[in-house]
Structure 1
């Protein structure tokens, strides 16, 4: 609508309305005039229950953030609603208050939450085409405190809810309390909330030391944080600052002479972002925050205001050792990656991958949008040394994930989501899904053992050809040529033989393997039921894999990973306790133990033997290494009766690799993180070095009959007692209940074709006695400080 024609139309409408009133008579006219206000009042009354309550308003001023503690009582994090530090009004510079009231609400001390004169003036200006805001500081506070309940949409409902909440605030708070709450809750960009954090962010000072220019600059931002951002838009910020100073002159808080001297001065920023402390387990805290907010909402608490104390399952010592292990090995691997990408064919303009990566950047798209041809934009960016250096650093930065849990109760003990949360907040434990390679093989062997196979059974180590739908042939291979000799299943798993694993997959069926993996813990990721699944081609998360290995270590019972043990209020009263759940049967205990015993071979004589030779771990442990095609992903998971830990190593972009057949293997990239961690846990006796996986008793009929026969024979041959009791009797023990069996699995459908690259997935052949290639340092130098 044209704003110039609006007053004419309004005049016409009012005249028409007046003519209708005259025809109705004075009684009808009064009723008609009273109807709109009555309807508006009724609607406002209906909205009252949907606005924040008085108790919520009290919490807003006295909010107490949740404290997150480790299982051993160490503080891990504090959950605040925003990055703010509350300061009392007396601690704020008077210049801030003067600038705020003069600019935003000069009748603040005269109204009771709503400035009717200002509201009416704003409405008339809006009708005239000059839209203006009429909100008081109290109404603005209502929006800042309750953005979800009130919202910011320009609707009548929102304005009414805002007005009702403002009236409640005025009824509850004094004017000084309103000002204090407003100044401590208003946002100032760059994760700075409240006047104290704003003073530190923009001027490296405290709220109490802000001078008149600094105060006017910050108050000026309130009209539009981004538009008047003094960092990105200094000219606009100066103009807005001077407008605030002029308002202070108008309200007699500043003299004209002072204004003339101040308006010519520069901003003089001292900018520095104010970051919240990350704590020792930032990715764990990030996951816990989501869970706690949902729990608090369901149970009538506020995660940010009710002073909850949350005791987690994390162990601060184990977490510290996990952080150290990831940092040490990450440093070593980063040096290897930098060296590899420096070599010929590495990071340069001739590398097709580098050119592709450049073409995917926002800078490239902006250059093309600005009018350059694709070739010109590519050439320009490839020649930009600063841009190429930044892109290389981003793309070739090694990343890692690490998770440890107690298999007996599912409690998470350590969680490292990346090498550095400040540089990469993406969680490689929970969020990332990568191909697990040979760490997936235990599910294949477990399915085979479930169907009666034994570790001592043999298969031929020979080339395998598996026909697929559509006439394709899948030919899985190992790093070394097949020996064409029989090999036991135990040895095949220890040496991570792809050919034997593929044969087992054909015997068992991909559907059965997928069903077993899901029962054991792969519950969020979709598994493709194709033959190459045996070699780990379906992406999964590290959290799922460690939980599934926890099922093996727990005798076949699956437990969902647990993050919290109990929640208390600020006075120590227990609000909720979370006892360990009952395990869900996924594997019979005997089969789980057979799988553990077979995976001991990986550590004792197979691809994971560095756990013994390098880290000197003599405890009863079992595990599996994993490496994917082109050494893209390195995995290692280790099981102990009291602790299971796993690590993943790679790059965020799966097209980037370590460019090394040695360092790219999980045995050399991920294993040292887990070995370092377990070494510390055993030395400190956080876990028992003498604990052993317990072999379940055999309760079959044949075994019980054999045991009875041995007992009878021993009693028959034993010398008679000197004085046997006259009525002695011996009752046979009740037979143990048979272990739970999984439900029957469906007949496997015809396999779908695997990914093109699937023919080489799995752990390459590995000789633990062979030295590393000449270009790599000896294994003893992998970890700094050892």
Structure 2
């Protein structure tokens, strides 16, 4: 007998003896207290006592089995597990944009599976499948005898294997008696709930086949390029052969082993009469004929949106007793499929052009070469550099060798210089999120630049400063002298904001200061309103998740925020100063259409007075007409009533643009994941990087009339642009 098996069996018996001893000791203690006279008779056993002792062993075993029952899946869970009904995510215009599957699987009925597959499975895995009720006692006893003799064999039926596949956490994989008992109990429950055909169907739709292929349908497509009902005898035998050990009998990587195992399956089919006479001899000589092709799950139309929604839906489902993978929920979202498609197209178009520019600025002859200090920093941050230093190379030697490795340089350069972007659009009237594109390609860059990324917003933050001033009674025609200023900070520090153009030392209206994005004037206005007041207003308007440093430079957007927060805050401006929390879901239904929950728009919160919001919209119209956002008119020919603002951060690390329409507010951020990489002084500006993305989107949306080209902000009256001189108020008395 195999020595390892003997030692295992001995250790197993010892553990059980210890358990029995513990139980016996506990029983004796109780007996001493309850039946003090009974123990005296143990020294003189009778026939009745011996019989009771022999009966105690199976009784204790039965109690142990019963104690395990509560730790196995319930009948209700088992009923749900057979039906694969993933949650469907539906757009506001009725298009399915995603479905939440736990794995890459497509459920097919037993009638859609080749009969050869079923015959091969039963002949190989469980030939008495139709005769037992979940446990094949003959096979179990045979497997136990072989195991004790040193030839370890499995005795699990198809139903027991299904129990393991459906409930790996509850049953476990450890080779213990407790695991086998939990498996057997669950198998008996499954047989009580399912018919034999339902068990086969569920098993064949749940079994894994490597390469993220779950179930026979995905396996047939992956290994043979066809559907499950088209599988022939040889292909069915190959897939069934993989069930013993997927990796060992992988027909792609281990074809010889897979062929041998396939012929073993054919032998079992022949042995139990599943093949025609003389067919086995011919079949076993045939090649595998694998037609391998990876099967990827269908892409979501809004993958970053779906990723955020999945987190929320899991919490909702757990709280309300639903399973998002099995209960067939239908989730009605706010996403507009048409606008989502337009947003993706706009991002692809603009990001591709910017990538062409980035590739010219960052290549092996310019930015991505060891002579560039920044690229040397990138090299020092790689595992390859650390490995070289650990091997004893000096900094200079490691840099030189890695810099000469063209494959390494190209890979590092590409990882650092991929242009990234985020885009989101919100209906300001109800907070509905209409489009959400978190990156150029979710597969390559799943990081979400709409909700996860926090970047400095630059001048797109300035409207909060002007909004605070308008709320305090300032008017667009009021003036501040455009001059150099020195603003004291904490300690001995001094902040001196600058602009691209030198100061004029002349009064400039608040309108023109925002239209032309003047930093010096905005900084002075910030001092008048106070950083604390502006930070409170920004939070009230929608910047509610990111911390805002209440310092003077906040006026120029130095505190990192998310794109979603900024577009939400601009939606407050477009909604006459009333903040409405962004909404993703309108209602949830079951698979029969019954409404399970409805989610109304959040109640509006007045964050900015309606008058101040209207004034702000009017001033920001001029940003589009004659200011930094004029490209919306001149380049894209958009004549609708729109208002917006560009934003560019220091060294052109971030480009922003947000545009407001009465029915839709949309914004884009463009940059690199590593903020030290830039597009240069020209293309890095928000007017050149982010604005075209938003402009192209609105051009498509307005032409398709998804939003009304004739919609106007209310009221339509505009504040006078050149008020009488007596109405001007010059804040010349501020001292810094």
502-511 or 187-196: bigger deviation = 502-511
Indicate conservation of the 8 Å contact 1:502/1:534, yes or no. Answer: yes
Partner Cα separation in structure 2 for residue 254 and residue 9 of structure 1: 45
1:475 to 474, 496, 511: 496
1:41 to 48, 51, 65: 65
For residue 461 of structure 1, what is the aligned residue in structure 2?
A: 482
Alignment partner of 2:683: what SS? coil
For residue 166 of structure 2, what is the aligned residue in structure 1?
A: 145
For residue 513 of structure 1, what is the aligned residue in structure 2?
A: 534
1:663 to 683, 694, 705: 683
Q: How far 1:603 moved relative to its partner?
A: 1.5
Deviations, residues 99-152 of structure 1 (Å, cap 9, x unaligned): 434544444334322344555676788899998755432122223334566565
For residue 689 of structure 1, what is the aligned residue in structure 2?
A: 709
Residues 372 and 515 of structure 1: is their aligned pair in 2 closer, same or farther, counting only changes over 3 Å? same
For residue 412 of structure 1, what is the aligned residue in structure 2?
A: 433
1:86 to 104, 107, 110: 107
For residue 542 of structure 1, what is the aligned residue in structure 2?
A: 563
2:543 to 522, 530, 539: 522
Indicate conservation of the 8 Å contact 1:6/1:127, yes or no. Answer: no
**What is the TM-score with the length of structure 2 in the denominator?**
0.83
Deviations, residues 694-724 of structure 1 (Å, cap 9, x unaligned): 2499xxxxxxxxxxxxxxxxxxxxxxxxxxx
Residues 269 and 357 of structure 1: is their aligned pair in 2 closer, same or farther, counting only changes over 3 Å? farther
For residue 53 of structure 1, what is the aligned residue in structure 2?
A: 75
For residue 725 of structure 2, what is the aligned residue in structure 1?
A: none
For residue 727 of structure 2, what is the aligned residue in structure 1?
A: none
Residues 694 and 273 of structure 1: is their aligned pair in 2 closer, same or farther, counting only changes over 3 Å? same
Q: Is residue 340 of structure 1 aligned with residue 361 of structure 2?
A: yes
Q: Is residue 503 of structure 1 aligned with residue 527 of structure 2?
A: no
Partner Cα separation in structure 1 for residue 455 and residue 231 of structure 2: 51
Residues 163 and 454 of structure 1: is their aligned pair in 2 closer, same or farther, counting only changes over 3 Å? farther
Partner Cα separation in structure 1 for residue 578 and residue 296 of structure 2: 42
2:624 to 603, 615, 618: 603
Matches within 5 A, 1:527-676: 527-658=548-679, 660-676=680-696
Alignment partner of 2:647: what SS? strand
Residues 329 and 37 of structure 1: is their aligned pair in 2 closer, same or farther, counting only changes over 3 Å? same
Matches within 5 A, 1:701-780: none
Q: How far 1:691 moved relative to its partner?
A: 2.8
Partner Cα separation in structure 2 for residue 444 and residue 221 of structure 1: 66
Q: How far 1:673 moved relative to its partner?
A: 1.3
439-448 or 502-511: bigger deviation = 502-511
Deviations, residues 731-759 of structure 1 (Å, cap 9, x unaligned): xxxxxxxxxxxxxxxxxxxxxxxxxxxxx
Deviations, residues 325-345 of structure 1 (Å, cap 9, x unaligned): 112212221221122224853
For residue 178 of structure 1, what is the aligned residue in structure 2?
A: 199
Q: How far 1:263 moved relative to its partner?
A: 7.7
Indicate conservation of the 8 Å contact 2:418/2:672, yes or no. Answer: yes
For residue 728 of structure 2, what is the aligned residue in structure 1?
A: none
Partner Cα separation in structure 2 for residue 37 and residue 206 of structure 1: 47
Q: Is residue 326 of structure 1 aligned with residue 350 of structure 2?
A: no
Partner Cα separation in structure 2 for residue 201 and residue 691 of structure 1: 51
Q: How far 1:353 moved relative to its partner?
A: 3.2
Partner Cα separation in structure 2 for residue 211 and residue 368 of structure 1: 57
Indicate conservation of the 8 Å contact 1:6/1:129, yes or no. Answer: no
Q: How far 1:648 moved relative to its partner?
A: 1.0
Partner Cα separation in structure 2 for residue 14 and residue 40 of structure 1: 12
Deviations, residues 49-101 of structure 1 (Å, cap 9, x unaligned): xx2334x4444334333333322223323333432223333443444334434
Alignment partner of 2:658: what SS? strand
Partner Cα separation in structure 2 for residue 612 and residue 500 of structure 1: 26
1:72 to 93, 113, 126: 93
Q: How far 1:369 moved relative to its partner?
A: 7.9
Alignment partner of 2:669: what SS? strand
Which residues of structure 2 form unaligned runs of 5+? 26-41, 718-736
Q: How far 1:548 moved relative to its partner?
A: 1.0
Alignment partner of 2:682: what SS? coil
For residue 701 of structure 1, what is the aligned residue in structure 2?
A: none
Matches within 5 A, 1:381-420: 381-420=402-441
Alignment partner of 1:448: what SS? helix
For residue 277 of structure 1, what is the aligned residue in structure 2?
A: 298
Q: How far 1:167 moved relative to its partner?
A: 1.4
Partner Cα separation in structure 2 for residue 297 and residue 643 of structure 1: 34
Indicate conservation of the 8 Å contact 2:362/2:413, yes or no. Answer: no
Q: How far 1:638 moved relative to its partner?
A: 0.7
Alignment partner of 1:331: what SS? helix
Residues 212 and 609 of structure 1: is their aligned pair in 2 closer, same or farther, counting only changes over 3 Å? same
Q: Is residue 678 of structure 1 aligned with residue 698 of structure 2?
A: yes
Indicate conservation of the 8 Å contact 2:331/2:587, yes or no. Answer: yes
For residue 733 of structure 2, what is the aligned residue in structure 1?
A: none
Partner Cα separation in structure 2 for residue 69 and residue 651 of structure 1: 32
Alignment partner of 1:469: what SS? coil
Alignment partner of 2:665: what SS? strand
Aligned pairs, number: 692
409-418 or 506-515: bigger deviation = 506-515
For residue 757 of structure 1, what is the aligned residue in structure 2?
A: none
For residue 297 of structure 1, what is the aligned residue in structure 2?
A: 318
Residues 639 and 174 of structure 1: is their aligned pair in 2 closer, same or farther, counting only changes over 3 Å? same
116-125 or 586-595: bigger deviation = 116-125
Partner Cα separation in structure 2 for residue 552 and residue 36 of structure 1: 73
Partner Cα separation in structure 1 for residue 667 and residue 11 of structure 2: 73
Q: Is residue 436 of structure 1 aligned with residue 460 of structure 2?
A: no
Residues 597 and 13 of structure 1: is their aligned pair in 2 closer, same or farther, counting only changes over 3 Å? closer
For residue 168 of structure 1, what is the aligned residue in structure 2?
A: 189
Residues 6 and 295 of structure 1: is their aligned pair in 2 closer, same or farther, counting only changes over 3 Å? closer
Indicate conservation of the 8 Å contact 2:621/2:644, yes or no. Answer: yes
Deviations, residues 450-498 of structure 1 (Å, cap 9, x unaligned): 3443333322322233333343333332222322332222221111122
Indicate conservation of the 8 Å contact 1:102/1:247, yes or no. Answer: yes
Q: How far 1:183 moved relative to its partner?
A: 0.9
Residues 123 and 682 of structure 1: is their aligned pair in 2 closer, same or farther, counting only changes over 3 Å? same
Q: Is residue 425 of structure 1 aligned with residue 446 of structure 2?
A: yes
Deviations, residues 180-200 of structure 1 (Å, cap 9, x unaligned): 211112222333211111121
Q: How far 1:259 moved relative to its partner?
A: 8.2
Indicate conservation of the 8 Å contact 1:590/1:695, yes or no. Answer: no
Alignment partner of 1:87: what SS? coil
Partner Cα separation in structure 2 for residue 216 and residue 460 of structure 1: 85
Alignment partner of 1:402: what SS? strand
Alignment partner of 2:362: what SS? helix
Partner Cα separation in structure 1 for residue 565 and residue 549 of structure 2: 16
